[in-house]
Amino acid sequence: MNEYSFTLNNDVNIDEIATSGQCFRWKKVNSNLYIAPIGSYLLEVRKQVKNKSVVTIYSDMTDKKAKDFLLNYFNLNLDYQKIIDSIIFDPYVKVAVDKAYGLRVLNQDPLETIFSFMLSQNNTVLNVSRCIERICEKNEQIVLDKRLSYFPFPNIETLAKLTIKDYEEMKCGYRARYLNRIAETILKKKMNLERIKKLSSDKLRTKLMEFDGIGEKVADCIMLYSMRKSELVPMDTWVQKASIELYGLRKNCTNKEIREFYIQRFGKYAGWAHLFIFNHARKYSKQSKNIKDCFVNTK
């Protein structure tokens, strides 16, 4: 297996990315080191001085392909500062950005993202991570050396062999039957997850919601975090509460109305604005009586 290292600038904040709720296999080894299996590869990120980090990818790719993979995964081909400048006119987003500069939307593997966010329904990040790890343990372990080993995320053929009982034994709960059907459906329909990314957001949402158990929120998470639909705003309780408290939207607003409000306000990077608001509200609301206060009183 090849080893390739790449320096990340200070517009990649690994601490914030790893705990933002969009990825579930990042593990903090110590204050300066993270390890993350990404699909069939392994990333090792070491934080350096001046907020820079060095990411090492262990894979069977050439250096050029490994670099392209990292550029794609971290969305490094996008002008980060231009994105930030387009959304910090909003005072609440500015507060969130100031606290978490370098947080960015990732571009993850669609299959793993589908399974991850299917598991995220009525679940904690910790439980999702544990379930994903158990699913990965159905794959063959890759041992790099005495220090590094990991289980790659299974391919669709391996996943299709798992039964509802298998998923139940992995403590996936009521989601077991949905996870079982996802793999079967993808194989049966010969669905190319890379190809369907080219569909419009509305058509892609409809396509994803054909899977049993995938609703609007999960579909939008999948599209934002693995299919480059950067304008999407996944709805959950944090975003709904924030939308009401910060922007005065009525309590009975539909998900579609909230989503359209964000797109009208923030444009093509509404999903990035949403991630900053979601991340800040989730991390700092315990310090305040309500969500709005945590955007004013955060120290």
In a domain, 175, yes or no: yes
Asked if 18 and 71 sit in the same domain, the reply is yes
**Residues 193, 125: one domain?**
yes
Q: 115 and 160 share a domain? A: yes
Report the alpha-carbon distance of residue 37 to residue 109 in Å, rounded.
11
Residue 210 is part of which domain span?
110-219
User: What angle do helix axes 270-284 and 237-247 make, rounded to 10 degrees?
Assistant: 100
Residue 64 sits in a domain whose CATH number is: 3.30.310.40
Tokens describing residue 170: 């992995």
Phi, psi of 291 (to 5 degrees): -65, -40
Indicate if 71 and 154 belong to the same structural domain.
Answer: no
Q: 186 and 133 in one domain?
A: yes
Q: Are residues 202 and 116 in the same domain?
A: yes
Kindly give the parts of the chain with pLDDT less than 70: 50-51, 287-288, 297-299
What is the domain count for the chain? 2
Q: Is residue 152 included in any domain, yes or no? A: yes
194 domain residue, yes or no: yes
Contacts of 118 (CB under 8 A, 6+ apart): 175, 178, 179, 182, 213, 214, 218
Is residue 284 in a domain?
A: no
Q: Are residues 53 and 125 in the same domain?
A: no
Question: Does the pTM of the predicted model rise above 0.85?
Answer: yes
**Residue finishing a domain among 59, 77, 95:** 77
Residue 40 within a domain: yes
CATH code for the domain in which residue 152 is found: 1.10.340.30
Torsions phi, psi of 200, nearest 5? -65, 160
Per the structure block, which two tokens stand in for 261? 């409000």
pLDDT value at position 299? Answer: 54
**What end-to-end distance do the CA atoms of the chain give, in Å?**
45
**Predicted pLDDT at 226:** 96
Residue 162 lies in a domain: yes
Is the residue at 297 inside a domain?
Answer: no
